[in-house]
Amino acid sequence: MLAAAIQLSSGEDREQNLRRAEALIREAAAAGARLIVMPEKWPCLGSDRAMAASAEGLDGPLVRRLGELAGELEIDLFAGSLVERRPDGALANTALHFSPQGKLIATYSKIHMFDVEVDGRSYRESALVRPGDQPVISAAGPFAVGITICYDLRFPELYRLLAAAGAELFVVPSAFTYPTTRDHWEVLVRARAIENQCFVVAANQVGGHGAGLRSGGRSLIVDPWGVVVAQAPDRECFVLAQLDKGQLVEVRKRLPTLANRRPEAYRQPTVAAR
């Protein structure tokens, strides 16, 4: 299955973001991609005010347009994430999966909030959106797909839970900051692939956004052995790689770390007295 990671430099102009995203999706599909992953918050990335103003429900015009696009191109479209406005008015950072028939078949709301300080700047994602509380596995072609978003990448317990439940491929729409992309991004993506023996398609934002935000690009596709099979340059583009289910089966057969787990022994450790 040929997969693509779309790398965007989204700002606060929603229509411009949509035009650029659709052009790259169409190019990737024309190149043969049947599974396409977009980055985090691509419809609007900037100030909390702008992102809140851009939010819409899952029955809104953007979601309908994405479904139509997936159906027209006959692709599994993991449409990154958008700021979802729920019926009660609360906002969530929600990833979407559209089938090749154009149906919205899975949604996942980001569990881990990016409430941190990086390079002298404070980020408080929880001031904008409410965290999710439900891991999600979807299906695309021959793969069971664990859906995650950006900062989730730093929480290996989520990925192990997904792998233990059957995930064979992780998608990671992201807007990793510039400094954390340079220092941590590839290490984390490869680690999640290696320890869970899964493919990972990690689509990152790149360049400057609204409100002084800056992302580091370098979108990746990594195989279950941890080898980087595609990496994007630092510009808007897409990268392609073939995902071979047979390779995953072979890796898990030769080095059966998932099968060798002992969950019955995973409990709170005994702390020896000093």
The pair of structure tokens assigned to 242 is 């073939």
pTM over 0.95: yes
Give the integer Cα–Cα distance in Å for 95 and 74: 19
What's the pLDDT at 150? 98
The pair of structure tokens assigned to 99 is 């089938």
Give the integer Cα–Cα distance in Å for 152 and 155: 5
Residues of the chain scoring pLDDT < 50: none
Rounded to whole angstroms, what are the CA distances from 164 to 1, 149, 161, 195?
A: 22, 19, 5, 11
In terms of Cα–Cα distance, which of 63, 66, 61, 58 is closest to 25? 66
Q: What is the DSSP string of 12-56?
A: S-HHHHHHHHHHHHHHHHHTT-SEEE--TTTT--S-HHHHHHH-B
The phi-psi region of residue 33 (left if phi > 0; otherwise alpha if psi is between -120 and 50; otherwise beta) is beta
Hunting for tokens 């999706």 — which residue is that?
Answer: 25
Q: Does domain 2-250 have CATH number 3.60.110.10?
A: yes
Domains of the chain by residue range: 2-250
Is the Cβ–Cβ distance between 45 and 11 less than 8 Å? yes
What's the pLDDT at 58? 97
Which residues are catalytically annotated?
40, 110, 150
Residue 244, helix vs strand vs coil: coil
Is the Cβ–Cβ distance between 149 and 129 less than 8 Å? no
